[in-house]
């Protein structure tokens, strides 16, 4: 009897400790969000603001374009880049994945091995080659330079190949009998059946591009073409005393990722456990 109650207390204590730990982990987020809505002089004073204000956000959107750092514009840049790339990666990866998984053709295995081979190299080895290629194409300092190199990705192809392989060939045969073309098969059979893979590939691609810092730092020089990550960094370097707006900018930079994560959390967890295997 004694033993049982003691065990129960132990379990409860453990749950509470973990809950507190989770709150500690969330603290940077909490601090960031609260700091962005309080008057600047209170940021280091108390956690809970004496009054809520949107001044910092107003500053970010209204005043920064007079400082040659237009946050709204660069937010739009980020959206354009990330959405285009995500859309394209899901499309191209599913097409190539379909070809590799369901067709036998000359060089098919080589192509497949090559995609896997490409994933082995650490990303930092590609920074300089990318720069040299972009420069010789005359695309430096353009939004296109951030979009074009990422339109196609080995990891997406790999993920789609793996999950398309599990779809029985009978479905495809049946669709062909009904007179559906290959493109139609991809859109109305393969993609709907692998919705979770598509979401994972899309989500990770979006986050990766949105958060990319080094590539735009190298390729873009004009403030009006910068994505949010680089603009925010340069703003932080030069206007470090504008603490409130800097933090408000950080909130804007973080928010889309957090929202997407919360919406797609189920797929996110699946994606992590798939990539272990």
Partner 1 sequence: MFVKWNYLTPPKFIGFDNFTRVITDETFWLVLGNTFNFMLYFIPISLLGSILLGMAFNRLKYFKTFVVLSFLIANISSGVSYSIVFQKLLSESGPLNRFLYQVFGFTIPWFTRPQLAILAIALMVSWKFLGYYGLIFLAGLGAIPKSLYEAAKLDGAGKFKQFTKITLPLLNPSMVMVLVMQITMSFGIFTEPYMITGGGPMKRTYMFMMYIYDNAFRKFTSTGPGYAAVISIFAAAISFGCIFLVRKLIEKEVNFV
144 binds partner 1 (CB under 8 A): no
Of 121, 138, 170, 177, which one interacts with partner 1 (CB under 8 A)? 121
Q: CB neighbours of 123 closer than 8 A, spacing ≥ 6?
A: none
Of 129, 165, 181, 238, which one interacts with partner 1 (CB under 8 A)? 129
Of 61, 236, 239, 270, which one interacts with partner 1 (CB under 8 A)? 236
48 binds partner 1 (CB under 8 A): no
123 binds partner 1 (CB under 8 A): yes
229 binds partner 1 (CB under 8 A): yes
19 binds partner 1 (CB under 8 A): yes
Of 3, 103, 122, 169, which one interacts with partner 1 (CB under 8 A)? 122
Q: Which C-beta is closer to partner 1: that of 15 or that of 173?
A: 15
Residue with token string 């409860």: 12
218 binds partner 1 (CB under 8 A): yes
Residue-wise DSSP of the chain:
-HHHHHHHHHHHHHHHHHHHHHHHHHHHHHHHHHHHTS-GGGTTT-SS-SS---HHHHIIIIIGGGGT--HHHHHHHHHHHHHHHHHHHHHHHHHHHHHHHH---TTHHHHHHHHHHHHTS-GGGGHHHHHHHHHHTT-TTSTHHHHGGGSS-HHHHHHHHHHHHTS-HHHHHHHHHTT--HHHHIIIIIHHHTHHHHHHHHHHHHHHHHH--HHHHHH--SGGG--HHHHHHHHHHH-TT-HHHHHHHHHHHHHHHHHHHHHTHHHHHHHHHHHT-
Q: Which C-beta is closer to partner 1: that of 107 or that of 122?
A: 122
**CB contact at 8 A, 196 and 267:** yes
18 binds partner 1 (CB under 8 A): yes
Of 7, 8, 9, 22, which one interacts with partner 1 (CB under 8 A)? 22
30 binds partner 1 (CB under 8 A): no
The C-alpha angle 11, 17, 19, rounded to 5 degrees, equals: 105
138 binds partner 1 (CB under 8 A): no
117 binds partner 1 (CB under 8 A): no
Q: Which C-beta is closer to partner 1: that of 106 or that of 125?
A: 125
| Distance in Å, CB of 225 to partner 1, minimum | 17
Stretch that binds partner 1, among 99-107, 157-165, 166-174, 210-218 (CB under 8 A): 210-218
Instruction: Give, in order, the Cα–Cα distances in Å from 36 to each of 69, 210, 250.
Output: 19, 21, 9
Residues in contact with partner 1 by CB under 8 A are 11, 14-15, 18-19, 21-23, 25-26, 28-29, 31-32, 35, 43-44, 47, 121-125, 127-129, 131-132, 135, 207, 210-211, 213-214, 217-218, 229-230, 232-233, 236, 243, 246-247, 249-251, 253-254, 257-258, 261-262, 265, 268-269, 272-273, 276
């Amino acid at each position: 009897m004694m033993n049982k109650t003691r065990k129960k207390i132990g379990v409860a204590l453990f749950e509470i400790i973990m809950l507190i730990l989770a709150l500690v982990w969330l603290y940077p987020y909490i601090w960031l969000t609260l700091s962005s809505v309080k008057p600047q002089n209170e940021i280091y004073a108390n956690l809970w603001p004496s009054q809520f204000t949107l001044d910092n956000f107003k500053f970010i959107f209204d005043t920064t374009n007079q400082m040659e750092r237009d946050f709204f514009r660069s937010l739009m840049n980020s959206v354009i880049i990330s959405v285009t790339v995500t859309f394209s990666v899901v499309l191209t990866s599913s097409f190539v994945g379909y070809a590799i998984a369901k067709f036998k053709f000359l060089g098919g295995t080589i192509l497949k091995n090559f995609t896997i081979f490409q994933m082995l190299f650490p990303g930092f080895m590609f920074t300089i080659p990318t720069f040299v290629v972009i420069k010789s194409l005359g695309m430096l300092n353009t939004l296109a330079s951030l979009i074009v190199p990422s339109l196609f990705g080995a990891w997406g192809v790999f993920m789609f190949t793996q999950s398309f392989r599990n779809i029985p060939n009978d479905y495809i045969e049946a669709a062909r009998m009904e007179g559906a073309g290959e493109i139609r098969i991809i859109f109305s059979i393969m993609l709907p059946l692998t919705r979770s893979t598509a979401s994972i590939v899309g989500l990770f691609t979006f986050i990766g591009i949105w958060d990319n810092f080094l590539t735009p730092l190298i390729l873009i020089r004009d403030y009006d073409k910068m994505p949010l990550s680089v603009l925010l960094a340069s703003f932080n370097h030069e206007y470090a005393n504008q603490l409130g707006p800097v933090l408000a900018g950080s909130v804007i930079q973080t928010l889309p990722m957090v929202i997407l994560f919360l919406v797609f959390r189920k797929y996110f967890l699946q994606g992590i456990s798939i990539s272990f295997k």
